[in-house]
Structure 1
Amino acid sequence: MSAVPATILFDGVCNLCNGFVQFVIRHDARGQFRFAPLQSEAARALLDAHGQPLTPALTDPDSVVLLDQGRIYTHSAAVLRIAAGLSGGWRWLALGRVLPAFLRDALYRWVARNRYRWFGRQETCLLPTPELQARFLA
């Protein structure tokens, strides 16, 4: 097990993505995940450190990104891996890995393409409360 906490990079101006982060926080009983908006310098530095520079595709992100134990997970693989680390019955969602990745990712991309229209968009990235500040990277 890596000493570095798993880090979730998310679209900081997407209401769906911010809701997902809040959901993870509520169900991450062990506090194992930390967070950074993809638009932040912290995300850029983490991706560079993992050999994945912030590309134009990630500048207008269509995926949540999970950095865990030196590996990068995107799209449905990231969401399912995050679900596996949650408390309660949510970890059962990880069983979705039995579905072929092309099907899971097609559904993921369809939601990602429509997320601003369905859920809206913020002008600025999520600002964590003082209690959660330690779990967010600057």
Structure 2
Amino acid sequence: MGPTVTEPWPDDDVILYDGVCLFCSHWIRFIAARDHGRFRFTAIQSDYGARLACHVGIDPADPDTNAVIHGGLAHVKSDGALTALSLLPGWRWVRVLLSLPKALRDPVYNLFAKNRYRIFGRSDVCMMPDAALRARVIG
């Protein structure tokens, strides 16, 4: 489970996501419903999210992955998704999937990411979280 960037980010347990991607918005709600308040979230379209994206090497204008900051380090693509899942209560078993080579995991992730708008759709604006989730969003 190697991080992508070795420069620490000052905030921990933050998930960067594409706020106009309908799948990504559902992903954030899925995590938030299960994480007992562990994570905070930021859309790549926000000022904070764009700065974080640039820090970890993601183009804010054309995001092809999410990022999970854990332990101060960025995890992207399949590492990010599996890291977030493995930190949820009852989902620790997902860590086993991190032992699979990235060369196998990331092409599957990339295929999904490339087609996410076509399959799930996109919104013209970022999702509006409910009050509980809004308190965990970094803008």
**TM-score normalized with structure 2 length:** 0.85
Structure 1 residue 39 displacement after superposition: 1.2
- Indicate yes or no: 2:65 matched with 1:63: yes
Q: Percent identity?
A: 35
Partner of 2:45 in structure 1? 39
Q: What per-residue deviation string (whole Å, max 9, x for no partner) do you get for residues 56-84 of structure 1?
A: x3321110111122211100000111011
Residue 30 of structure 2 corresponds to which residue in structure 1? 23
Deviations 1:23-65 (A, max 9, x none): 1011112x110000011101133456xxx2765x332111011
RMSD: 1.8
Shift of 1:110: 0.2
Stretches of structure 1 that go unaligned for 5 or more consecutive residues are none
- With over 3 angstroms needed to count, the CA separation of the structure-2 counterparts of 1:43 and 1:71, relative to structure 1, is same
Deviation per CA, 1:76-134, whole angstroms, max 9, x where unpaired?
A: 0001110111012x232221111100110000000001101100011101111112222
Correspondences of 1:77-116 after superposition (within 5 Å): 77-88=79-90, 90-116=91-117
Contact 2:68 2:76 in 1 (8 A): yes
Structure 2 gaps of 5+ residues are: 1-9
Tell me the residue number matched to 1:9.
Answer: 16
* Count of aligned residue pairs for this structure pair: 130
In structure 1, the residue matched to 2:74 is: 72
Is the contact made by 2:19 and 2:125 (CA closer than 8 Å) also made in structure 1? yes
Tell me the amino acid that sits aligned with residue 61 of structure 1. P
